[in-house]
Structure 1
Amino acid sequence: MRIIREVEPKRVLEVGTLIGYSAILMGKELDSNARLITIEIDPTVAKIAVNNIRRAEIPPTVEVLVGDAIEVIPKLEGEFDIVFIDADKWQYLEYLQLVEDKLHKGSVVVADNVEQAPSYLDYVKYSGKYLSKYISAGWSGLEVSVKL
């Protein structure tokens, strides 16, 4: 979560909430006037995430949206300073392309388990839109891409 401390974002988008673990970790690094929006496709799992996030008593406003990120992202308004993608690997590129118009120069996109998303990796490395680097995390890793 060093990236959160370095960027000091005011608006964060997470694609793939699951039980809220990543949202809680990010939220602990955000200040109280930040906003974290997280999207979860499974309503049952989203309820668990909401409860976990509430119990964690993290400072920022956290909004858990239930739905398919492919349908939810286009409806979101405003720009994001950080986007964290950890959902269906085969849709990573589509998630990114849907959120691109909500990024500004310097926005950071972090994608987890990118080894399973080769089209995403090719795009962030060779499109000319991002400065991107891989960070190994054991058997998997993160791709951290800064919007140019």
Structure 2
Amino acid sequence: MHFIPEALDTYVVNHTEKEPELLEQLTRETYQKILQPRMLSGPYQGRVLSMLSKLINPKNILEIGTYTGYSALCIAEGMRKDGELHTIDINEELEDFQRKYFDLSPYGHQIHQHIGNATEIIPNLAMKFDLVFIDADKPNYPTYFDIIIDKMNPGGVILSDNVLWSGKVIEDIKKDDLSTKALLSYNKMLVDDNRIETVLLPIRDGLTISRVL
């Protein structure tokens, strides 16, 4: 989803750091072998995630929604050498694909995969987080926030993807559109919560940065 003219978007991409070769390989194989390859973060957003992680320099990272591992590898780039990244996905069929690329990266030994329902897995993770990236099923975004907010370190950052949902958040909502309804509630929840400060960026399909006070 582009919210600026295509020519200007191309200029932005051309003047942004290029993705590492390993991520290019991951993208190619995802498009060759995996359903719904549009779910990849992509090179531009990936560089945004990488830069944010490097600025935060997190020790403990949580990702909700792994898919083929692209975004996990991006946010791992800013992780401390003694850090851990815990990534959760419901689809067990992608586990080996993810692991292959994690192990090809410098961060493989620091990345821990969890397969199953994030609402059940997160409460059992005995740590607090400096960085969380939410990119999973939209109807559960408010639930994920409620679960993770008390597991954040002060100054920690929650990144939420797809919060503009192809612009549907400002359109008339269809009765059966649970995802858009959930995102509307979620976006309002973030801006109203006095435990965090929030900025919504029109990057790709919308990316919210929420800093824990």
**Alignment TM-score > 0.5, same fold:** yes
**Cα-to-partner distance string for 1:28-48 (whole Å, 9 max, x where unaligned):** 232321110000111111221
**Cα-to-partner distance string for 1:40-73 (whole Å, 9 max, x where unaligned):** 1111112211112112233760001111101111
**Is 1:134 equivalent to 2:193 in the alignment?**
no
Contact 1:32–1:60 under 8 Å retained in 2 = no
- Aligned CA RMSD, in angstroms, stands at 1.4
Runs of 4+, deviation exceeding 4 Å: none
1:91 partner amino acid: N
1:142 partner amino acid: L
Structure 2 portions without partners, runs of 5+:
1-49, 166-182
**Partner residue, 1:93:** 142
Out of 66, 69, 73, which is 2:122 matched to?
73
Structure 1 portions without partners, runs of 5+:
none
Q: Secondary structure at the match of 2:77?
A: helix
**In the comparison of the two structures, how many residue pairs are matched?**
147
Q: Scaled by the length of structure 2, what TM-score is found?
A: 0.66
Q: Secondary structure at the match of 1:82?
A: strand
Contact 2:61–2:132 under 8 Å retained in 1 = yes
Q: Which has the larger radius of gyration?
A: 2
* Aligned sequence identity (%): 30
**Partner residue, 1:13:** 62
Contact 2:153–2:212 under 8 Å retained in 1 = yes
Task: Specify which structure has the higher proportion of strand.
Answer: 1
